Structure 1
Amino acid sequence: MSSEVTIENKHEQPKAASRNHFKEKAYHVLNRYGMLFILIALIIFMSILSPTFFTSGNILNIVRQMSVIGIVAIGVTMIIITQGIDLSSGSVIALVSVVVASFAQADSYPVLLAVAIGLGVGILTGVINGTIIAKGKIAPFVVTLGMMTAARGLALLFSDGRPIGNLSDTFKFIGQGAILGIPVPIIIFALVGLVSYLLLNKTKFGKYVYAIGGNEQAAHIAGVNIEKYKILIYSYAGLLSAIAGIILTSRIASGQPTAGLMYELDAIAAAVIGGTSLSGGIGTIGGTIIGALIIGVMNNGLDLLNVSSYWQQILKGAIIVTAVLIDARKNRKS
């Protein structure tokens, strides 16, 4: 009798092991590529509901529209990985917008000078954020909230609350032009994504970003200069916000002190939807880009279906909360 039980147990053990292995593999695939599957499913769903959705022109339009948010979200991703947050990116976009527009007037300064000044403004805001956070030991939420208010005020003060137009055609090419049929904003978005991926995955800088987010105290003991790298991380995010501001200004052909409203929340949403953990230490550039595209596909598809923008905001909020709940569940399991 006991030998029969033993034989049955021997047969059951490989089956149980096989089932567990399959579950682990399925969980790993879903954990790594789940948002990509959701993006594909969303594209298919929208294509069925709207015949004009899945056309080359509309797909390019979606990516072009989301390029600004996507670029900001990449910088925000690095900050969130270090357990930080950046609420100032939308206001930095506005400040860069009016400053760069004032130097990109037709028949005035060279475009490269205008772009360089705009990038410098973005980097400066990032340096200020990072320095106060790192050296002043103040919560990122408080510091970037202050920068959000100050940068918006500076944008309004600099422009006297009015749009700045009469931009040169060369400058407008940045946001409105195309190279080999591909809109320039998409090309810039792709380059920013590639450079940021290499920074985060192939350099010492990237290793330290994850180390600070995983365990800041352990990273400090291991010899990581926490203050230096936090300043660098926020400076890079400021640079990306400036790039986004330049693209947006060029695309709408004017510097707007009200530009970038709520962009910081869309950028945070893209990062969180893409799998960046608010607890720190986890996040990828690819995931954030997918998160931005999910938001873009959803917004575009709902517009084509004539769904009210109010409902779009509600749906976006529900998606963000769901993504955070999934992240919290993952953290509890780990």
Structure 2
Amino acid sequence: MSTTTTRRAAGSSPEQRKSPGRLTVLASVGGQNLSLIGALAVVLALFGVLNDNYLTLNNMQVIAEAATITGLLAVVQTVVIICGGLDISVGSQAGVASVVSAMAFTTTGANPYAGMAAAVGVGVLIGILNGVIIVYGRVNPTIATLAGLAAYKGLAQLISDGRAQGYVLNNDVFVFLGRGKIAGLPVMVWILILTAVAVHLLLKYTDIGRNIYAIGGNDTAARLAGININKYLIAVYALIGTVAAVAGILLTARTGSGQPTSGSEGLELKAITAAALGGCALRGGKGGIGGTLLAVALLGALENGLTVQGINSFWQNVAQGALLVIAVVIQQRRNGERPIGLPT
């Protein structure tokens, strides 16, 4: 080997000295996702040691079913964050859809399809309303959807008189959605998988997805490139409303009645936490569905583990808040952003 070759080898970076196989794995999975996989493995192993019933197939299905509604909302939260926005009202939207689906089911003579159609229709209208307020009202997405969080929660309580509405467990369609299985997996989980795959393909392999990343990365450059940002923002919020309605329908199917707040309260925090943990940059332009789903699994496994150990449920909120802060701190460090109030 020549002297020049020896010097090049000695002076190569750690990344260059990694084996091709390792580089391929890192590139395909991603460092963020590998960290989440590691954290998930630690949580599963820890609670598996503490409780013999934790790693049973039955409990894994319980975790999956419980995480489905959060997962659906986290998937669309990922899209809006990539686009440079945020939606804090997704939990309240799901609550409205849950109530509407049950009430429409009851008033149409126990027609499940009428109930679902009514819920989806309301979800689309709410999503479009959010988008219009943000785009044409020139309201910051955080403020607009924070207002929506309160308004839609109040709407769900008004139309339901603050009580659970209807009873759907005497209907085969709702029972199938809430408790049925296909190929051994709960139907709810299949709905999450299909939704996540569809959104992933949209983001990664279509011009629409590339434009969404472009808007979140640099909206000025996207506008100069001819992208109609207003149209995209309204469409993204309409998508959120649609999927939130599906989540509300599943909430009705799972609990047996329309729930104005119970079951939907706090979902917005879980969805945002999952998206942030999954690698979404809260300033937009970065993120993916795979990381979000891993974060949903991590949150579900942690929440279930705390429950089976009999730990006070209030600690679950503490854990979620801590994880959100940790996720944002990691993002700040990776992006090299200067902390507010500290010298460069």
Q: How many residues in Structure 1 have an aligned counterpart in Structure 2?
A: 328
Q: CA deviation at 1:213?
A: 0.4
Partner of 1:120: 121
CA distance in 2 between partners of 1:107 and 1:228 (Å) = 35
Q: 2:171 aligns with which of 157, 169, 172?
A: 169
Residue deviations 1:148-183 (CA, integer Å, cap 9, x gap): 111111111111122112224222321122233321
Q: 2:288 aligns with which of 256, 260, 284?
A: 284
Query: Is 1:258 the equivalent of 2:258?
Result: no
Are residues 301 and 294 of structure 1, via their aligned partners in 2, closer, same or farther at CA, if it must alter by over 3 Å? same
Are residues 235 and 139 of structure 1, via their aligned partners in 2, closer, same or farther at CA, if it must alter by over 3 Å? same
Kept in 1, the 8 Å contact 2:65–2:189? The answer is yes
SS in 2 for 1:275: coil
Residue deviations 1:209-255 (CA, integer Å, cap 9, x gap): 10100000100000100000000101101111111110011100011
Partner of 1:307: 311
Query: Is 1:324 the equivalent of 2:333?
Result: no
Q: CA deviation at 1:22?
A: 4.1
Kept in 1, the 8 Å contact 2:70–2:296? The answer is yes
Kept in 2, the 8 Å contact 1:106–1:166? The answer is no
Task: Return the letter of the residue paired with 1:269.
Answer: T
Matches within 5 A, 1:1-334: 11-17=6-12, 19-22=14-17, 25=23, 29-105=30-106, 108-167=109-168, 168-170=170-172, 171-259=174-262, 260-332=264-336
Residue deviations 1:17-42 (CA, integer Å, cap 9, x gap): 05342479598652452212222232
Task: Return the letter of the residue paired with 1:218.
Answer: A
Kept in 2, the 8 Å contact 1:100–1:118? The answer is yes
SS in 1 for 2:31: helix
- Runs of 4 or more, structure 1, over 3 Å off, are 9-13, 22-29
Q: CA deviation at 1:146?
A: 1.6
Q: What value does the CA root-mean-square deviation take over the aligned residues?
A: 2.2
Amino-acid identity (%): 37
- Give unmatched runs, 5+ long, in structure 1: 1-5
Task: Return the letter of the residue paired with 2:9.
Answer: P
CA distance in 2 between partners of 1:27 and 1:180 (Å) = 32
CA distance in 2 between partners of 1:10 and 1:228 (Å) = 55
- After TM superposition, the score normalised by the length of structure 2 is 0.89
Are residues 20 and 180 of structure 1, via their aligned partners in 2, closer, same or farther at CA, if it must alter by over 3 Å? closer
Q: CA deviation at 1:54?
A: 1.1
Q: CA deviation at 1:258?
A: 1.5
Kept in 1, the 8 Å contact 2:32–2:291? The answer is no
Task: Return the letter of the residue paired with 1:322.
Answer: I
CA distance in 2 between partners of 1:256 and 1:304 (Å) = 25
- After TM superposition, the score normalised by the length of structure 1 is 0.92
Kept in 2, the 8 Å contact 1:213–1:281? The answer is yes
CA distance in 2 between partners of 1:118 and 1:200 (Å) = 26
> Whose helix proportion is higher, 1 or 2?
1
- Give unmatched runs, 5+ long, in structure 2: 338-344
Are residues 56 and 160 of structure 1, via their aligned partners in 2, closer, same or farther at CA, if it must alter by over 3 Å? same
